[in-house]
Structure 1
Amino acid sequence: MSQGDSGKGGGGGSGSKLDQMKEGMRSKIQESIDRAYAEHKHELFKRRIDLARQGVRNFELKRMVEAVKAFETYLTILHDWKGAPEGGLNPSYFDIKKDLPEMLLISGIYWDLAKLFDRTRNKEREFRHYIEKFIVFTKGMPYQPVASETLRKYIRNDKPVHKDVFKSAYRTLTGSNCFIATSLVDVCDDGTIHALRDYRDSVLLRSLPGCLAVVVYQKVSPPIAWALDRMPEIVRALAGRSLDRVARGILGKSNPVTF
């Protein structure tokens, strides 16, 4: 081999070693970046509960901008930690036995965000996203009955802007086919829907005539409920009072139904 060839071979070896050194340095730098990012994620994850508490406190104090910021930061941390796509967080990322308290917290945060965006102009898309997430993190959970009752009281007492959407959410959570009663949930006494539902389940559905009556009701009631939703408030109030009287008659009470 000539001296020139030997020089070329030596140069090639030096270049290969240099490339290896560069690759090693890049790997170490990337490892450092990954480690720092993981530590940062872990620190944020540990802070998430504090952020949620800040959001709740700001919401109670009517500091809505700060509440939204804290809530959305909390949710972003969870999305990142669980590896969920944006807006894709759902109960499948959690262990219901171990993570139930956190899932209850998430449900509550989505509920507060839904209420907040219900009254925010030009934010209907965000509102619908949050109410859907509230349903996803509530339906089938041990706290579903309490959440459903909270939703019912909100519909009745707080006069939401998107009342139909909240009613639909209530129907979804309760699994109720009492379309007329759900339509009038905001103008009925507190226990009316419960009384009617209990009567259906414990009396009507235990006999063939009762079952037939329920089937007929479920077929004819949706258009009636649709019409009731669009009637003047005074008409709806009268219909609600009539439904209350039916419930009182079922329970054999003379006083308004309360639970």
Structure 2
Amino acid sequence: MSNKKKADGEVEELNEGVKNAYAERLKTLKQALDFVAKNDLPKSVEKFKHYLGILAAYNRTDEKHLTPKMFDPERDVAELLLVSQAYWNLAKSYDKSPRLRQESVRCLQQFIKFSIGYKYQHANAQLIKKFLRSGQAHNKKAFQQAYEKINVRSKNCYLATHAYPENEDLLNTLRAFKVKLAKYSAGIIFINRYYDYSPYIVNSFERNRSLDFVFNKILLRPIIYLIYKVVK
């Protein structure tokens, strides 16, 4: 927990109300999810905002200024995921009202911040994809842009990272190439298919070392290295 310094250099402690609310924050989040299950959007929005407000108060800021930097990326990964889900639910709820579309976009931006760079990033991208396919999105452009930012402009290159985990030059080159591909509709389709299937391929490799040796060492690594040399 960070400490806020007063003008005289003393440390200002959190008040008991904030501490108690923080200790009970997961109960608040559960209540929000229960209201989502009951399709009671007004109450779910209230509880999600309360949960985020508690985190903001604990970090001595307001909800609009919550950032992933306030959390430990490894120790707090579960909380980071929960924060992303709170913003996701708020973005969907606000999207239903024309007068709240701007707030929906703001929550989408927060959702993106709390998604990119984390293990659950691909799963969060799929949430948007599923939502768009359901036809429920009113501001389709905003949700599509959020999907592309999380899914296309991410740092994750599953197959390349599996084949060359220590080669930063190769990985950075391929990530830059991916951004260039995203400028074209065919490139977007290719990248989407890559993200659909590559995590499962990597998981198969990790479960089966013989399969990993045959396809990764003999086939995957040479192909990826060739692509790297061509696009560099």
Q: What TM-score do you get using the length of structure 1 for normalisation?
A: 0.58
The question of 1:180 aligning with 2:185 is answered yes
Corresponding residue of 2:133:
156
CA distance in 2, matches of 1:117, 1:203: 45
TM-aligned CA deviation for residue 127 of structure 1: 0.6
Among 17, 28, 40, which residue is 1:40 paired with? 17
Contact 1:151/1:170 (<8 A) preserved: yes
**Residues 238-249 of structure 1: pairs in structure 2 closer than 5 A:** none
TM-aligned CA deviation for residue 167 of structure 1: 1.2
Indicate how the Cα distance of structure 1 residues 92 and 206 shifts in structure 2: closer, same or farther if over 3 A, else same. closer
The question of 1:63 aligning with 2:40 is answered yes
Contact 2:90/2:107 (<8 A) preserved: yes
TM-aligned CA deviation for residue 125 of structure 1: 1.8
Among 66, 70, 73, which residue is 1:89 paired with? 66
Corresponding residue of 1:194:
193
**Number of matched pairs:** 169
Indicate how the Cα distance of structure 1 residues 154 and 197 shifts in structure 2: closer, same or farther if over 3 A, else same. closer
Unpaired runs of at least 5, structure 1: 1-33, 186-190, 213-259
Corresponding residue of 2:227:
205
Larger Rg: 1
CA distance in 1, matches of 2:86, 2:58: 17
The question of 1:145 aligning with 2:122 is answered yes
CA distance in 2, matches of 1:62, 1:77: 23
Corresponding residue of 1:124:
101
Corresponding residue of 1:74:
51
CA distance in 2, matches of 1:197, 1:203: 22
CA distance in 1, matches of 2:113, 2:195: 26
Indicate how the Cα distance of structure 1 residues 60 and 96 shifts in structure 2: closer, same or farther if over 3 A, else same. same
CA distance in 2, matches of 1:196, 1:173: 11
1:173 aligned partner, one-letter code: I
Corresponding residue of 1:243:
none
CA distance in 1, matches of 2:97, 2:226: 43
CA distance in 1, matches of 2:191, 2:118: 24
| TM-align CA RMSD | 3.1
Unpaired runs of at least 5, structure 2: 1-11, 154-178, 199-222
C-alpha offsets along residues 49-87 of structure 1, whole Å, 9 cap, x if unaligned? 011011111012110010011010111111110112441
SS across alignment from 1:87: helix
TM-aligned CA deviation for residue 207 of structure 1: 6.9
CA distance in 2, matches of 1:46, 1:55: 16
CA distance in 2, matches of 1:44, 1:159: 34
Indicate how the Cα distance of structure 1 residues 145 and 61 shifts in structure 2: closer, same or farther if over 3 A, else same. same
CA distance in 2, matches of 1:161, 1:181: 25
Indicate how the Cα distance of structure 1 residues 182 and 106 shifts in structure 2: closer, same or farther if over 3 A, else same. farther
Contact 2:88/2:108 (<8 A) preserved: yes
CA distance in 2, matches of 1:68, 1:93: 23
2:227 aligned partner, one-letter code: L
Contact 2:122/2:195 (<8 A) preserved: no
SS across alignment from 2:118: coil
TM-aligned CA deviation for residue 38 of structure 1: 1.4
Indicate how the Cα distance of structure 1 residues 161 and 80 shifts in structure 2: closer, same or farther if over 3 A, else same. same
Percent identical: 24
Q: What TM-score do you get using the length of structure 2 for normalisation?
A: 0.64
Indicate how the Cα distance of structure 1 residues 145 and 42 shifts in structure 2: closer, same or farther if over 3 A, else same. same
Corresponding residue of 1:133:
110
Corresponding residue of 2:146:
169
